[in-house]
């Protein structure tokens, strides 16, 4: 079985009363969630009736709970789902529609969040033991990505891709019935919606938060037996700022989406967090490598071994390349043809630079398109940021570059915190080689990050151009 509807139906049959989905206002058992999914599928089918030929992929902009129900409804009907961020859906829709052609249609959510309570007439586990019986969709999930400069692309993932990814993740971070995964990442990102696949495949419980709120997450960790938690580094830092300590039940805190710095790692380790640094992307259905229980010798970019089934190599440009069953079918295109963005032999050339050590462990150096040339030397901002993050008084830092007649790319550090610019420059002089030292240091109240905590590099350059150096 490799479909959400199949996994949910199996859970409703084997343990109908066990919690499947915990929401702020309701908890649904596997049987109740299956009833909701069936009701939502009926509503989605009715919405598609009379609109012409049913498209294989439906785009839905909705809240976290709406996207969960949309994914289950699409699975029952044999459709693919493109989950959209409601805040950016209108602006990005034209480009995505052009990529999907006639195979993609945007609809309102099939089930309003206020109507999530299951129909009473369909609460029997026996009645829900069988899914709808349609053939598995060729494309089960499409995830929109921003690209390096905000140009949207969309990743096509098959049921087999998602099954392989969930199976490998559940093996690396053992997940089973009775476990509880707290999800506070956006579900229109692969890091968020992949948790739904892992939990339903394992028969575990998904506790769904509407966005990230540090106090709400802290309360859940206090009152719920959370076993798994996914965070980006910025979220982890916010919890540490509130002096949140992990409960004894928490076995794995999966950290991804952006680079984890050594200072933040040390803070979290000292507070007892069971960190699991990871590396992944939409193109491989989330996780590609994860390091469980890193030791004191951990260093920035170390993400451990690949998940089972994946192979990795480093190409002539230093980019990491992946191949395996969870690597995407290709980027969305009007013909839904597989292979777009992949080599003929199935290898995916990622945008990340890195290396593989003798143990098969990966170290990620950063994105290839973020490299600057300063004084004739290639400099990746992640290397500089990792160093400057350890400077006293630096709460957050990002590095960009502006054109310079001498250096080519003159590095600019944008710093959040109470560190003085001269202190940051002095730290750089003591700890960095000349080409990696920032020529300017700007104090800013916050850095431009997206919902997954990643630095928005184009916005960072604009901010550097507009800011004056703090005194």
> What does the pLDDT look like over 123-163, one tens digit per residue?
444 333 344 444 445 899 999 986 544 567 899 999 999 99
**Per-residue pLDDT at 146:** 67
Give strand pairing partners of 377.
Answer: 374
Q: What is the mean pLDDT of residues 102-116?
A: 69
Q: Are the beta carbons of 255 and 281 closer than 8 angstroms? A: no
Model pLDDT, residue 125: 40
**CB 364 within 8 Å of CB 356:** no
Structure confidence by residue, pLDDT tens digits, 200-257: 999 999 999 988 999 999 999 999 999 999 999 889 989 999 999 999 999 999 999 8
Alpha carbons 256 and 266: distance in angstroms, whole number: 16
Q: What is the mean pLDDT of the chain?
A: 89
pLDDT of residue 110: 57
Higher-confidence position of 43 and 167: 167
Higher-confidence residue: 430 or 468?
430
Quick check: 267 pLDDT over 80?
yes
Q: What is the DSSP string of 163-228?
A: HHHHHHHHHHTT--TT-EEEE-S-TTSHHHHHHHHHHHHHT-EEEE-SS--HHHHHHHHHHS---E
CATH fold for the domain made of 371-466: GMP Synthetase; Chain A, domain 3 (3.30.300)
pTM of structure: 0.85
Q: Are strands 275-281 and 286-290 parallel, antiparallel or unpaired?
A: antiparallel
Name beta bridge partners: 440: 412
Instruction: Give mean pLDDT, residues 102-131.
Output: 56
* Average pLDDT score over residue span 407-431: 93
Q: How far is CA 213 from the centre of its chain?
A: 17
In percent, the amount of the chain with pLDDT more than 90 equals: 69
**Burial level of 129, CB count in 10 A (0-12/13-18/19+)?**
middle
Per the structure block, which two tokens stand in for 426?
Answer: 């002095």
Distance CA 48, CA 58 (A): 10
Where along the chain do its domains lie?
4-365, 371-466
Label residue 301 by pLDDT band (50, 70, 90): very high
pLDDT of residue 54: 74
Q: Is the pLDDT of residue 462 over 60?
A: yes
| Close Cβ partners of 186 (under 8 Å, ≥ 6 residues apart) | 64, 85, 192, 211, 451, 452
CA distance 145 to 151: 8
Predicted pLDDT of residue 123: 42
> What mean pLDDT comes out for the span 353-379?
89
pLDDT of residue 107: 85
346: exposed, middle or buried (C-beta count within 10 Å: 0-12, 13-18, 19+)? middle
Question: pLDDT grade, residue 293 (50/70/90)?
Answer: very high
Q: Please name the fold of domain 4-365.
A: Rossmann fold (3.40.50)
Q: CA 358, 325, 204: angle at the middle one, nearest 5?
A: 95
* pLDDT at 129 (0 to 100): 38
* Strand ranges of the sheet holding 104-107, from the earlier edge strand across to the other edge: 104-107, 57-61, 80-84, 141-145, 153-157, 330-331
Asked whether residue 43 carries a pLDDT value surpassing 80, the answer given is yes
Alpha helices in 256-340 (DSSP H): 262-270
pLDDT of residue 51: 62
Can you give the pLDDT at residue 111? 54
Handedness of CA 185, 97, 5, 72 (dihedral sign): positive
- Compute the distance between CA of residue 180 and CA of residue 250 in angstroms, rounded to an integer: 9
Structure token pair of residue 9: 């139906």
Q: What is the pLDDT of residue 376?
A: 79
């Amino acid at each position: 079985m490799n479909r959400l509807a199949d996994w949910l139906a199996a859970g409703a049959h084997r343990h109908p009363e066990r919690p499947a989905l915990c929401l702020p206002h309701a908890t649904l058992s596997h049987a109740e969630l299956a009833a909701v999914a069936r009701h939502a599928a009926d509503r989605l089918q009715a919405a598609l009736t009379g609109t012409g030929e049913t498209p294989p992929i439906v785009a839905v902009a909705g809240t976290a709970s709406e996207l969960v129900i949309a994914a289950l409804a699409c699975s029952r009907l044999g459709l693919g789902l493109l989950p959209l961020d409601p805040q950016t859906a209108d602006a990005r829709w034209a480009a995505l529609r052009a990529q999907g052609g006639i195979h993609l249609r945007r609809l309102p959510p099939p089930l309003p969040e206020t109507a999530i309570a299951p129909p009473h007439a369909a609460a029997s586990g026996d009645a829900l033991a069988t899914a709808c019986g349609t053939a598995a969709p060729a494309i089960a999930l499409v995830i929109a990505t921003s690209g390096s400069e905000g140009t949207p692309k969309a990743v096509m993932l098959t049921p087999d891709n998602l099954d392989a990814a969930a199976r490998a993740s559940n093996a690396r971070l053992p997940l089973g019935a009775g476990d509880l995964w707290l999800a506070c990442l956006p579900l229109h990102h692969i890091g968020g919606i992949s948790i739904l696949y892992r939990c339903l495949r394992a028969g575990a419980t998904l506790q769904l938060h509407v966005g990230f709120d540090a106090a709400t997450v802290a309360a859940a960790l206090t009152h719920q037996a959370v076993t798994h938690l996914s965070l980006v580094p910025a979220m982890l830092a916010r919890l540490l700022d509130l002096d949140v300590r992990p409960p004894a039940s928490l076995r794995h805190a999966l950290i991804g989406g952006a680079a984890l710095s050594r200072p933040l790692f040390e803070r979290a380790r000292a507070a007892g967090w069971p960190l699991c640094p990871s590396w992944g992307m939409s193109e491989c259905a989330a996780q590609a490598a994860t390091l469980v229980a890193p030791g004191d010798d951990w260093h920035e970019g170390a993400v451990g071994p690949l998940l089972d089934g994946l192979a990795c190599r480093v190409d002539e440009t230093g980019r990491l390349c992946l191949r395996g069953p969870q690597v995407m079918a290709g980027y969305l295109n009007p013909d839904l043809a597989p292979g777009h963005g992949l080599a003929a032999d199935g290898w995916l050339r990622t945008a990340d630079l890195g290396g593989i050590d003798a143990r098969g462990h990966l170290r990620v150096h950063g994105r290839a398109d973020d490299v600057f040339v300063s004084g004739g030397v290639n400099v990746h901002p992640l290397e500089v940021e990792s160093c400057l993050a350890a400077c006293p008084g630096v709460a957050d830092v990002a590095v960009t570059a502006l054109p310079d007649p001498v250096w080519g790319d003159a590095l600019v550090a944008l710093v959040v915190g109470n560190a003085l610019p001269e202190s940051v420059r002095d730290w750089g002089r003591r700890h960095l080689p000349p080409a990696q030292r920032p020529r300017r240091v700007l104090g800013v109240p916050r850095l431009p990050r997206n919902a997954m905590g990643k630095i928005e590099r184009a916005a960072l350059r604009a901010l550097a151009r507009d800011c004056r150096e703090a005194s």
